[in-house]
Amino acid sequence: MNERDGFEQRLREARTRQGLDRPSEGDKQGLPPGPMGIGFRVGVELVSALVVGVGIGLLLDRWLGTKPWLFLLFFVAGSAAGVMNIFRLFKPPGGRKALARKAGDRKI
């Protein structure tokens, strides 16, 4: 039975190295399964960044008396943060090196 357990462990490691299986631990930040889950995650990322940016802008405008300017500045900053969050969501975990490894060690 011990020989079979060793084989299962080696098979699991080989499948993980080849990218056929995801690692079981630490993969909680990946994309949710299915297109509806991905769309929901993208929407939440974008809306939450916008809400935080607009909220900070409105509070600072009220406190400093600079009515529309900080609101507009933080609206743009929140929009940029939301887009960057979505970009990071779809970017492969290892960056360009992992993408090249997955594509068969071609130059990208």
Residue with tokens 């769309």: 39
Interval 8-41: pLDDT, tens: 888 888 888 887 766 555 445 566 788 888 899 9
**Confidence at residue 35, expressed as pLDDT on a 0 to 100 scale:** 87
**Confidence at residue 24, expressed as pLDDT on a 0 to 100 scale:** 56
Rounded CA gap, 108 and 99, in Å? 8
**Confidence at residue 56, expressed as pLDDT on a 0 to 100 scale:** 96
**Confidence at residue 20, expressed as pLDDT on a 0 to 100 scale:** 75
Distances (CA, A) of 66 to 25, 51, 61, 77: 48, 19, 5, 17
Cα–Cα–Cα angle for 9, 6, 21, rounded to 5 degrees: 15
Query: What dihedral angle (degrees, nearest 10) is formed by the CA atoms of 13, 17, 18, 22?
Result: 80
Interval 44-103: pLDDT, tens: 999 999 999 999 999 999 999 998 999 999 999 999 999 999 998 888 777 666 666 666
**Confidence at residue 53, expressed as pLDDT on a 0 to 100 scale:** 96
Rounded CA gap, 89 and 40, in Å? 12
**Confidence at residue 98, expressed as pLDDT on a 0 to 100 scale:** 63
Interval 94-104: pLDDT, tens: 766 666 666 66
